[in-house]
Structure 1
Amino acid sequence: MKGFVLGGVSSGVGKTVATLATVRALGNAGLDVQPAKAGPDFIDPSHHARVAGRPSRTLDLWLQGESGLRRNYARGEGDICVVEGVMGLYDGDGSSTAAVAEALDLPVVLVVDASAGMESVAATALGFQAYAERAGRDIDVAGVVAQRAHGGRHERGIREALPDDIAYLGRVGPDDALTVPERHLGLHMGDESPIDDDALDAAAEGLRTDRLVDVAREPAGATGATESADPTESTDDAPRVAVARDDAFRFVYPATIERLRERATVGTFAPTAGDPLPPCDGVYLPGGYPELHAASLAESPALDDVADAAADGVPVLGECGGLMALAESLTTVEGDTHAMAGVLPAAVEMRERYQALDHVELRATRDGPTAATGTTLRGHEFHYSSATVDDDARFAFDVERGEGIDGDRDGLIEHRTLGTYAHVHAERGAFDAFCDRL
Structure 2
Amino acid sequence: MSARGVVLSAVRSSSGKTVVATGILAALARRGMRVRGAKSGPDYIDPAFHAAASGAPSFNLDSWAMAPPLLDGLLQLSSQDADLLLIEGALGLFDGVSGPPGRRGSTADLAARFRLPVILVHDVSGQSQTVAAILRGMMLHDPDVRVAGVILNRVGSERHRRLVEEAVGAIGLPVLGALPRQADLQLPERHLGLVQAGEDAAIGATIARIADSIERHCDLDAIAALALPPALADASPAAPALPPPGQRIALASDAAFSFLYPHVIAGWRAAGARLVPFSPLADEAPPSNCDACWLPGGYPELHAARIASAETFLGGLRRFAEARPVHGECGGHMVLGRALVDADGVRHTMAGLLDHVTSFAERRLHLGYRVATLSGDGILGQAGTILRGHEFHYSVLVERGGDAPFAFLQDARGEALGPEGGRRGLVSGSYFHAIANA
The match for 2:427 among 414, 417, 436 is 417
Name the CA shift for 1:321/1:196 in 2 (closer, same or farther; >3 Å): same
1:191 deviates by: 2.9
The answer to whether 1:28 aligns with 2:34 is no
Counting matched residue pairs gives 413
The 2-side partners of 1:158 and 1:123 are apart by: 11
The 1-side partners of 2:160 and 2:31 are apart by: 25
Partner of residue 219, structure 1:
230
SS at structure 2 position matched to 1:179: coil
Partner of residue 392, structure 2:
382
Per-residue deviation, residues 215-261 of structure 1 (Å, max 9, x unmatched): 111111254363999xxxxxxxx831111110000111111222222
TM-score normalized by structure 1? 0.88
Partner of residue 160, structure 1:
166
Question: Do the aligned partners of 1:170 and 1:208 also contact (CA within 8 Å) in 2?
Answer: yes
The 1-side partners of 2:376 and 2:286 are apart by: 28
1:197 deviates by: 2.2
The match for 1:82 among 86, 111, 114 is 86
User: Structure 1 stretch 177-186 or stretch 189-198: which is displaced more?
Assistant: 189-198
The 1-side partners of 2:150 and 2:356 are apart by: 49
The 1-side partners of 2:401 and 2:212 are apart by: 56
The match for 1:320 among 323, 330, 336 is 330
The 2-side partners of 1:278 and 1:84 are apart by: 36
The 2-side partners of 1:131 and 1:368 are apart by: 45
1:356 deviates by: 0.9
Code of the aligned partner of 1:331: V
The answer to whether 1:259 aligns with 2:251 is no
1:428 deviates by: 2.3
Question: Do the aligned partners of 2:329 and 2:430 also contact (CA within 8 Å) in 1?
Answer: yes
Unaligned runs of 5+ in 2: 98-103, 241-245
Question: Do the aligned partners of 1:170 and 1:207 also contact (CA within 8 Å) in 2?
Answer: yes
Question: Do the aligned partners of 2:23 and 2:207 also contact (CA within 8 Å) in 1?
Answer: no
The 2-side partners of 1:227 and 1:91 are apart by: 26
Code of the aligned partner of 1:80: L
Question: Do the aligned partners of 2:301 and 2:340 also contact (CA within 8 Å) in 1?
Answer: yes
Partner of residue 100, structure 2:
none
SS at structure 1 position matched to 2:165: helix
The match for 2:61 among 59, 63, 74 is 59
Partner of residue 174, structure 1:
181
- What is the percent sequence identity of the aligned residues? 36
Unaligned runs of 5+ in 1: 230-237, 430-438
After TM superposition, list the pairs within 5 Å mapping 1:98-247 onto structure 2: 98-133=108-143, 138-149=144-155, 152-161=158-167, 162-163=169-170, 165-193=172-200, 194=203, 195=206, 197-221=208-232, 223-224=234-235, 226=237, 239-247=247-255
Code of the aligned partner of 2:185: L
The 1-side partners of 2:6 and 2:86 are apart by: 6
Code of the aligned partner of 1:305: G
The 2-side partners of 1:19 and 1:391 are apart by: 44
The answer to whether 1:398 aligns with 2:408 is yes
Code of the aligned partner of 1:192: E
Per-residue deviation, residues 29-81 of structure 1 (Å, max 9, x unmatched): 32111011111001111221111112211010122122211211111131111
Question: Do the aligned partners of 1:178 and 1:200 also contact (CA within 8 Å) in 2?
Answer: no
Name the CA shift for 1:196/1:71 in 2 (closer, same or farther; >3 Å): closer
Task: Please report the RMSD computed on the Cα atoms of aligned residues, expressed in angstroms.
Answer: 2.3
1:126 deviates by: 0.6
1:332 deviates by: 0.6
1:106 deviates by: 1.4
1:113 deviates by: 0.9
Question: Do the aligned partners of 1:349 and 1:387 also contact (CA within 8 Å) in 2?
Answer: yes
The 1-side partners of 2:383 and 2:285 are apart by: 33
Partner of residue 40, structure 2:
38
User: Structure 1 stretch 153-162 or stretch 100-109: which is displaced more?
Assistant: 153-162
The 1-side partners of 2:427 and 2:412 are apart by: 22
SS at structure 2 position matched to 1:242: strand
Name the CA shift for 1:88/1:53 in 2 (closer, same or farther; >3 Å): same
